[in-house]
Structure 1
Amino acid sequence: MNLNLRWPRSLASRLSLILLVGLVLTQALSFGVQYYERYESAKNTMLGNLETDVSTSIAILDRLPAAERAGWLQQLERRNYRYLLDEGTPGSPMSDTPIAVTSIKEAIGKDYPMTVSDLPGPQKHFQVHLKLADGSPVTIDVRPAMVPLSPWLPIVLLGQLALIIACAWLAVRIAVRPLTRLSKAVDTLDPNTHAVLLDEKGPIEVAHAAKAFNSMQARIAAYLKERMQLLAAISHDLQTPITRMKLRAEFMDDSSEKDKLWNDLGEMEHLVREGVAYARSIHGATEESCRIDLDSFLDSLVFDYQDMGKDVSLSGRSDAVIETRPHALRRVLVNLTDNALKFAGAAELRVEAVNGCLSVKIMDRGPGIAEEELAQVMEPFYRVENSRNRSTGGTGLGLAIAQQLALAIGGSLTLSNREGGGLCAQLKLPL
């Protein structure tokens, strides 16, 4: 089975993994050192006790009458060794002398000659054979083993592991939380709404990043405000000469040149107004939000078009009251509806609630837009037609303004071609 181990992608996962592995390895190393020290201490204590216990036990058995020795064996038995009143089990000579054998020899080897045999088996097992003063055989049956771990030790280790995981999670959360806030602030950064300043408290690095982000927001807002003021000033200055030129054209004799000039001046005036409208849509409207009945709002919009003799219809019901900027919403719908009327002569509005949000579709049966140009037509001054005629090509700002205003009211605008021909502009609004 091929396991592809990959380095985690998120910073929180990487920090958690590094901290957890480091702490677990440190804990394992600490436990290993403590266990080794415990082993050495227990071994030294056991060997010291073994010498004293064996010498005492053999002395007791040697002084007891032969008939009473069997009754003492159970009292003299220990966890790792016991005493047998026979020749023991035949075994093979030992190749390596354990430390326990050395301790037994030092305890009783001078007074009681003895031999040692190794017994086969999965566990270390040997026997020490000797004879008492009356010639009776005695065998010390030894099964070396470490002192077993306490039953509560695994619970303590699991508790320590849980504490390590909790500390690692807390440390990662504290370290990553400011980055998460900064990431959310960047994702929600919208020049069309009032800037939401980050909290500049906390560690030095976090406070510095928050201050830098807040300064960036202020610079962006100042730049957009300056651009809008610049376009507004240009529009104001251009309207005066355009008006003078229109007045002068009025006194000209009727001719084809007069009509061309009048049309050019009208296009210039329209372009200036659309440019200012686009600048305001980017900067964000100052209109206050209010609650409106969406169905009544759409009915009013459609009735206005029908009163002007336009082929505009409405289908579907939302039964929703939403918080929005009504003038901005109306401008979005008017731009999209005018676009449908311009290229198809008719427009159909359809409203419905889809996946927790409201959807308003403006559909037509016009020529549609090539798939590769659906995203480009949202850009300012981009036109599908190459014509400079305002009645066909327009200024290229209508869809751009609609998209900016849709974002300003918290919605989104997407374009798609309809089956059977035509275009569908879908405006999604939050409930």
Structure 2
Amino acid sequence: MRARWPGSLRSRLFLILLAGLLCGQALGFAIMLLERDQSARAVMLTTLQRDVAVAVALLDRLPGAERPRWLPLLDRPTYRYALGPGEPGTPTLPPRARMIADEIRAALEPRFPVRFDAVPDSPERLQGHVVLADGADLTIAVRPALRAVASWLPAALAVQLLVLAACVWLAVRLAVRPLTRFAEAADRLEPGRPAARFAEGGPDEVARAGKAFNALQARIARHLDERVRILAAISHDLQTPITRMRLRVETGAEGPDQDRLLADLAVIEALVREGIAYARSLHGEVEPPVRLDLRAFVESLVFDYQDGGRDVTITALPDVTLATRPQALRRILTNLIDNALRYAGRAEIAVEASEGRIALSVRDRGPGIPEDKLEAVRLPFVRLEESRSRDTGGTGLGLAIADQLAAALGGRLALRNRDGGGLAATVTLG
């Protein structure tokens, strides 16, 4: 089964850099151990050569009766001396034993001929047999020791590896963090919505990317602003000829044709008014925010509908005060309530406040919206002909205006179909 790479760039860079540094660390540690082993071996063999030469010469000059008392004084951790022929062994020597045998032979011969054999054991042992001047047998038993490793070395190595991993993680985090912030800024970038400028500090590459992103953001804003101004200008300029046409039709001959022309002009006027309102909604920030008693504001709006004989009720309304732009908020709720009344004949308003956020919901029991169209209906001039006929009125700009104004207030409009039928349009502020 093939190993899968982590999904994030940060994890991939961390693994690659950490693996490379660990390999380099392991190689350096191996080189250090090899050099240390060679140096220690050279020192050990030189000491062994001198020590064996002195010890054998001393034992050779001592009387036979005195030698047993001196043997313990001449013993070393890795080799010792014994009188007698020693243990049975084999003449074939391993490479390491041959190197030690050559050093001992160089120290004793030609004065003391030496014969070597290996004792089958684990770990390996080497015996050197010497005949002293009086004919006594002397055995040099060598037990090569493993490399001595300091007890603190594993702990030091573990700390070193932890520091290395921490430095790699910090370096990767510092390198990837600007890219993460750049991606977050790109996610927040939506045409027609206010967006903060990307910080242009940091390394040169990040600063250049930030400047390019801010320039792109400004170009998009200018392009949209130009389109909105064109829409507003056209909609405004159309009002004068439409008014003239209405006056001419009204002063003309009465009859069915006049009624049809007046109805068409009314549709055109509504479309022009909605176009102007949509253009203004993209600049909702021009209205200054004020402190608003939300309970009194919503009750006043609902009472206006009820006074006009419309079925609008309140199901939940806590006492909340917030800073917002009242005209923009009124237009949002008016559009949502009008939609609910147009397609369901009844609207319910519910306000919820929790953790500093306020949610205003307008609910109905109308035909709802297909799930795959919930996002599309917030675009301008998008209508759902299969469920909402043009005969019921509307220009396809109501939800688009509400969405733009909600964004201008720093909130968001969400649409969802209710269980049992109907639509819930919720504006979340804060």
Normalized against structure 2, the TM-score is what?
0.91
2:86 is the counterpart of 1:94 = no
Shifted more, 233-242 versus 58-67: the winner is 58-67
- Between the aligned partners of 2:147 and 2:71, the Cα distance in structure 1 is 22
2:89 touches 2:118 (CA, 8 Å); kept in 1? yes
Q: CA deviation at 1:382?
A: 1.7
- Between the aligned partners of 1:98 and 1:318, the Cα distance in structure 2 is 95
Q: CA deviation at 1:355?
A: 7.7
1:377 touches 1:383 (CA, 8 Å); kept in 2? yes
DSSP-derived class of the 1:93 partner? coil
Letter in 2 for 1:235: S
Q: Give the equivalent residue in structure 1 for 2:47.
A: 49
Letter in 2 for 1:394: G
Q: Give the equivalent residue in structure 1 for 2:247.
A: 247
2:179 is the counterpart of 1:173 = no
When the two chains are superposed, the root-mean-square deviation of aligned CA atoms in Å is 2.4
Q: Give the equivalent residue in structure 2 for 1:23.
A: 21
Q: Give the equivalent residue in structure 1 for 2:140.
A: 140
DSSP-derived class of the 1:129 partner? strand
1:132 touches 1:138 (CA, 8 Å); kept in 2? yes
Q: CA deviation at 1:82?
A: 1.6
- Between the aligned partners of 1:7 and 1:389, the Cα distance in structure 2 is 52
- Between the aligned partners of 1:394 and 1:194, the Cα distance in structure 2 is 28
Q: CA deviation at 1:388?
A: 10
Change (3 A) 1:301 1:134: farther
- Deviation string 1:9-49 (CA, Å, 9 cap, x unpaired) is 22211221111111111111111112111111111121111
Q: CA deviation at 1:356?
A: 6.9
Q: Give the equivalent residue in structure 1 for 2:344.
A: 344
Change (3 A) 1:144 1:12: same
Q: Give the equivalent residue in structure 2 for 1:12.
A: 10
Q: CA deviation at 1:393?
A: 4.2
- Deviation string 1:276-302 (CA, Å, 9 cap, x unpaired) is 222333455322334434333322222
Shifted more, 87-96 versus 204-213: the winner is 87-96
- Between the aligned partners of 1:238 and 1:388, the Cα distance in structure 2 is 27
1:267 touches 1:390 (CA, 8 Å); kept in 2? no
Q: Give the equivalent residue in structure 1 for 2:272.
A: 272
Letter in 2 for 1:352: E
Q: CA deviation at 1:213?
A: 0.6
- Between the aligned partners of 2:47 and 2:105, the Cα distance in structure 1 is 14
DSSP-derived class of the 2:138 partner? strand
DSSP-derived class of the 2:286 partner? coil
Shifted more, 210-219 versus 253-262: the winner is 253-262
Letter in 1 for 2:250: E
Letter in 2 for 1:77: D
Q: CA deviation at 1:223?
A: 0.8
- Deviation string 1:110-153 (CA, Å, 9 cap, x unpaired) is 22233222122331212222232233332212111344122232
Structure 2 counterpart of 1:70, from 65, 68, 71 = 68
Letter in 2 for 1:341: L
1:218-233 correspondence to structure 2 within 5 Å: 218-233=218-233
1:192 touches 1:284 (CA, 8 Å); kept in 2? no
- Between the aligned partners of 2:369 and 2:214, the Cα distance in structure 1 is 40
- Between the aligned partners of 1:373 and 1:16, the Cα distance in structure 2 is 42
Letter in 1 for 2:297: F
- Between the aligned partners of 1:323 and 1:77, the Cα distance in structure 2 is 93
Change (3 A) 1:59 1:20: same
Q: Give the equivalent residue in structure 2 for 1:301.
A: 301
Q: Give the equivalent residue in structure 1 for 2:428.
A: 428
Change (3 A) 1:293 1:124: farther
Letter in 2 for 1:426: T
1:340 touches 1:363 (CA, 8 Å); kept in 2? yes
- Between the aligned partners of 1:137 and 1:273, the Cα distance in structure 2 is 123
Normalized against structure 1, the TM-score is what?
0.91
Letter in 2 for 1:75: L
- Between the aligned partners of 1:172 and 1:16, the Cα distance in structure 2 is 6
The alignment-based identity, stated in percent, is 53
Q: CA deviation at 1:86?
A: 3.3
2:413 touches 2:427 (CA, 8 Å); kept in 1? yes
- Deviation string 1:236-273 (CA, Å, 9 cap, x unpaired) is 21011011112222212322212211111111111112
- Between the aligned partners of 1:154 and 1:238, the Cα distance in structure 2 is 85
1:360 touches 1:428 (CA, 8 Å); kept in 2? yes
- Between the aligned partners of 1:287 and 1:86, the Cα distance in structure 2 is 112
Structure 1: runs of 5+ lacking an equivalent? none
Structure 2: runs of 5+ lacking an equivalent? none
2:50 touches 2:107 (CA, 8 Å); kept in 1? yes
2:314 touches 2:348 (CA, 8 Å); kept in 1? yes
Letter in 2 for 1:253: A
- Between the aligned partners of 2:357 and 2:107, the Cα distance in structure 1 is 90
Q: CA deviation at 1:109?
A: 3.2
Q: CA deviation at 1:340?
A: 0.7
Letter in 1 for 2:314: L
Q: Give the equivalent residue in structure 2 for 1:151.
A: 151
Q: Give the equivalent residue in structure 2 for 1:81.
A: 79
Structure 1 counterpart of 2:59, from 58, 61, 80 = 61
Letter in 1 for 2:397: L
- Between the aligned partners of 1:76 and 1:296, the Cα distance in structure 2 is 105
DSSP-derived class of the 2:12 partner? helix
1:376-415 correspondence to structure 2 within 5 Å: 376-385=376-385, 392-415=392-415
Q: Give the equivalent residue in structure 2 for 1:316.
A: 316
Letter in 2 for 1:14: R
- Between the aligned partners of 1:244 and 1:389, the Cα distance in structure 2 is 29
Q: CA deviation at 1:192?
A: 4.5
- Deviation string 1:147-203 (CA, Å, 9 cap, x unpaired) is 412223223322322232232123212321221221222122245455422333333
- Between the aligned partners of 1:370 and 1:198, the Cα distance in structure 2 is 37
- Between the aligned partners of 2:346 and 2:334, the Cα distance in structure 1 is 13
Q: Give the equivalent residue in structure 1 for 2:113.
A: 113
- Between the aligned partners of 1:361 and 1:30, the Cα distance in structure 2 is 67
Letter in 1 for 2:20: G
- Between the aligned partners of 1:354 and 1:10, the Cα distance in structure 2 is 34
